[in-house]
Amino acid sequence: MKETSEAESRLQSIDAYLTFIEAGTEAGLRALAESTEPDIVESRLRVLIESDRFEDARNVVIALPPHEQWCTQAFIVLARQGDFQGADQLFGWVQQQHNPVLRGKCAVAFAGAAYARAVVLSGGEDRLFPDLIAPESVEVLSKALRALGPVLHGVEANEGGETLLQERAVVIALVASHCMGDEKAAGHYATLLKERTPVPLDLARAVLHRKVPSPPDLPGRLPAWHRDGPGDFEARPAAGWGASAKGSLQLWNSSRKHRTPRADRRYCRPCARSRATSTRMQ
């Protein structure tokens, strides 16, 4: 009976998320009703986060006891709202679960959202720049780096292999350190990424701005869809770094004003339900 209830809530959450995509935020939230099932709460938080309704999402988080299924979304919400006391309390709960994978996921989710918070505090749109960073943003980035500490330690100790989660943690640490003016730390994190293939684009940007040395064969190790995509501007200056630093920087600066919009996506509701259900049941 419990398995049936869980399957029903899972399908309801999938249908509600698709409704959100097709008909907007309010329609998606109505489809989720007021259930506190973990699947439903996870979808409710996703809808609110993607709608930039972080205050409403925080109200959901603080009204419920934590759950492993949606605590990563909770960290995103708390960081974006600047509720770092709440985030510390939630980290305490995560620590009690004795689940290193969950701890790593939560740390990376929190750090990524903290970076986004720092961007807003400095008046930016999607990226921080060292010469324009506000003191409040530096404090937030410091919190992000502290949260990433255990994950970064695992990378440096070569524990658990080079996972995508670890790569994401190092990329955030690289960008945060660079924005805070700590070029020694940024260079250290760049070294941890230099053997990765494809090369993370944030590492390519750091090379572009001459903040870290270029890894071997950088142009050939960029993601193919960034290297070859006709509509992508971000990777082109990185791929052409060796030709002309000045010209590349000019292209990079102009490219930030001409981003290719995300392609429209079409969803088949039965297929999406089938894919999501099979993935979640694995």
pLDDT at 10: 74
Phi/psi class of residue 133: alpha, beta or left (left: φ > 0; alpha: ψ in -120 to 50)?
beta
Rounded Cα–Cα distance for residues 181 and 280 (Å): 41
The answer for residues whose C-beta is within 8 angstroms of residue 7's C-beta and 6 or more apart is 277
Residue among 158, 75, 170 at smallest CA distance from 116:
75
Contact of 193 with 171, CB cutoff 8 Å: yes
Residue among 153, 76, 61, 135 at smallest CA distance from 110:
76
Say how many C-beta atoms besides its own lie within 10 A of residue 254's C-beta. 11
Residue 207, SS3 per DSSP: helix
The token duo for 79 is 């960081």
The answer for residues whose C-beta is within 8 angstroms of residue 116's C-beta and 6 or more apart is 79, 80
- 3-state SS of 213-251 is CCCCCCHHHCCHHHHCCCCCCCHHHHHCCCCCHHHHHHH
What is the pTM assigned to this prediction? 0.74
pLDDT tens for the chain, 282 residues long, are: 344 466 777 777 778 778 788 878 888 888 887 788 898 899 999 999 999 999 999 999 999 999 999 999 999 999 999 999 999 999 999 999 999 999 999 999 999 999 999 999 999 877 888 888 999 999 999 999 999 999 999 898 875 457 889 999 999 999 999 899 998 998 889 888 877 777 777 777 777 766 667 777 777 777 664 444 433 333 333 333 333 333 333 333 333 333 333 333 444 555 555 544 444 444
Residue among 104, 200, 222 at smallest CA distance from 161:
104
Contact of 215 with 182, CB cutoff 8 Å: no
Rounded Cα–Cα distance for residues 250 and 246 (Å): 6
pLDDT at 19: 79
Contact of 238 with 210, CB cutoff 8 Å: no
Contact of 147 with 194, CB cutoff 8 Å: no
Rounded Cα–Cα distance for residues 173 and 169 (Å): 6
pLDDT at 268: 52
pLDDT at 128: 85
Rounded Cα–Cα distance for residues 52 and 144 (Å): 20
Rounded Cα–Cα distance for residues 241 and 219 (Å): 8
Residues in the chain: 282
pLDDT at 247: 33
Residue 55, SS3 per DSSP: helix
Residue 21, class by beta-carbon neighbours within 10 Å (0-12 exposed, 13-18 middle, 19+ buried)? middle
Rounded Cα–Cα distance for residues 20 and 174 (Å): 35
pLDDT at 187: 87
